[in-house]
Structures are given as C-alpha cells and as structure tokens.
Amino acid sequence: MLEDSRSWDNPRLSGVHWEELAERFGTPLYVYDAAVIGRQFRRLSEAFGEVPCDIKFAMKALPTLGILRLMRSLGAGIDAVSLNEVKLALHAGFEADDILFTPSSAPFGEIEEAHALGVQLNLGELATIERFAERFGSAASCCVRIRPDIRDGGHAAIQVGHAGSKFGVPSAELSRVRELVAANKLRVNGLHVHTGSDIQDPETFLRSAELLFTYARDFGALEFLDFGGGFKVAYRPDQQAADIDRIGARFSEAYSSFATETGLAPRVWLEPGKYLVSESGTLLVRVTVVNRSGGRTFVGVDSGLNHLIRPMMYGAYHHIANISNPSGPRSRYTVVGYICETDTFGEDRELADVRQGDLLAIANAGAYGYSMSSNYNARMRPAEVLVADGSAELIRERESFDDLIRHQR
C-alpha cells in the first residue's frame, strides 16, 4: 500500500490499524487494500483510454477468490495459465468469454476442456497449434502467442520474450500458422506477445507493439491484439514505477497509425498482474527473537520463504517497516524467517529499533506472495484479509494442522 503521500517507514491503512488486524486475525497475515487495487486499475484504464482496451488480470499473481471478485467488480477480465485458474475464475463469477487461457507445456486434455468451457485459448507452441488445428479445425478459434525475441525484465527467470525462451511461436515459424489458416484448418482470432515482468523502459513495450502490429497485417481482421503486461512497480523508495501515462500515450499513437494504415481496429488486451496488486499487499509478521551474532543483529520473525519466496528466489527487495516502533531510533538489522534454510527477507536494513514482539510490515507483497507459498517444513499458510471502506474481511482462513494432513493416508 505504497501511497505517494506517505512514508515508506510508517505505512498507513485507511480506517484500520495494523495492530488491530494482527490481534484480530493473528500473524503472519497477508493484508490487501482494495482502494489501492482500484486506483491501479483506474490508472491503467485511463492511460490506455484512447484505444479500445480490455484489462485481463494475470491471476497467477494473486488467485484468491476475494481478489478475483474485486477484479470482476472493477470490470477486469482474467488471464489464466492453468485449467484450475480457469475454473477458479468461473467460480468467482467471471463469464467464459472474460477469460483468456494461456497454457505452457500443458496436457492437451486441459486445452480440450478449456475449449469445452468456452474460454479464449492462447497457444504458444507450434506443435500444440498443429494438434489443435487437427482436432478442431476452423470450427474453433485460438489466439497465437508470438515470441518477440526481446530480452527485458527484472530477473532472468521472468524474462520470457527472448530468443532462448520456451514461450511463444518464433517469427520464423509463423508462416506455418498462416498455412494452416489459408488451408481452412485453423481460425486465428488474436495475436499475443509478452516480453517479461518488472519492465520500466517504455521502448520495450513499444517495440513489442510494433512487432505485433506488423504480424497482424498478415492475419487480417483479428478480434484482438494482446500486448501482455509486465509494467514495473517501485519496490524501493528510490525506484520509479513504469510511466504508465507515457506508455499509454505512445501506444495510442502507434495504434492510431496502425488502424489508419490498415483499416483494422482490433481490441487491445493488457494482462497486468503485479501492477494491479503488488502495492496493495502487506505481509504482517511478528518478531520472535532479536539475536546478536557474528557482528550482526538478526531479527527472527514468524514467517519464512514458505510464505514469501521472492527475496530468496529472485533476490527481490521488499521494504520492511517496524509498525510497533515507527519513530524510534534507527539501527541496522538482518530480518530472517523461521525456515531451516537461509530465508532472509532483508539484509542489513535500517529499521526503527526492533524488540521481541514488535509487528513488522513487509511491503509490496500483493503479487506472487501467497500464490507462491507452500507448506515447506510442515508450516501452514497464513490467513488473507481484504480491507475496503474502513473494514477488514477475512478472505482466506489460516491453515490448520488438519489441512496439512487432509489428503494424506
């Protein structure tokens, strides 16, 4: 909930106090601010307001039903990457035609079932596209994911548009797709490109857009062009998020030129995940121990990489604030978790003096936090709370030991 108007080290939550949430729901606790999600959705909608645009929430970032229902109320659609994500979206009240399904190396049975459910398919492997054409012919439509051969993104693991990536059909293989279309064996109703995540440079988006506009000329009257997501959010106080207004304005100019030159006017789809929910989320943790060792002061908390793996998996920075003592004198600490591996949330961080029992807030935890959590070390996943209009709603219960053994024999 990193509002521009407030300090990173003394985060505010409209109408609700952090300590009250921790006392009511316990810790560790994921807290999401509905107002921030709404703000981000409106910013993106307004930035691309000059083009016929639909926003498909990349639900892999935060697939909790309460969040999905909020997205539906805002007018978003869904970008799903597994059949179960498709089913979750349907369960949350989305219509099938609101959902885009982009599988990767999925069993073909998932694709057949998704087709039967009526969702929009987005296929990025030539072998799968050929099998789809053989199975359904031109009676069924699909979108084709194209690999742009552009490398960008905040970490190698989330750079998915480069030449060595498994994602998308290389441009050299698009001729085969066009052959299938020409032979009336395949109906393509959209094209898709996604470069990666955590991208700030507007030129990356514009290069991808120009490539997609170029390819679209060869496919004629498409229903939509999907430009993916990946808009950068600020994780550090000194970082800048992607200039979404500038990107939207530049994109609108490019789209207008494309439409004028071709007479085509496909809808524009965007797939933001992190951009919509990252800043909305905070992981509240309680300090279990403050230990001086080897010249450093370690702050142990009641959470670990089983709840927020991004710092360990990607080297990601998440700002940490001491909610219990925001104005105290500051010292340097290394904040660590309770897992039997090195699960460091923040190394050598300057924090207001930390004591056992203090409540810490780990910021920007709304995206790829709970959704990448696990039961490692037989630890249970935390509860999730959505704050809206000054009240807090429990949208996922804390796991219990019974949950841990429920499916074991």
Q: Which residues are designated catalytic?
A: 340
CA separation, residue 293 to residues 225, 299, 312 (Å):
55, 11, 21
Q: The tokens 């194209």 sit on which residue?
A: 146
Q: What angle do CA 204, 205, 210 make, to 5 degrees?
A: 100
Gap between the Cα atoms of 400 and 402, Å rounded? 5
DSSP state letters, 145-176 = EB------SSSGGGB-SSTT-SSSB-GGGHHH
Burial-class residue 263 by CB neighbours within 10 Å (0-12, 13-18, 19+).
exposed
In our burial notation (b when 16+ CB lie closer than 10 A, e otherwise), range 201-234 reads ebebbbbbbebbbebbeebeebebbbbbbbbbbb
β-sheet bridge partners, residue 225: 191, 268
- Classified as helix, coil or strand, 270 is strand
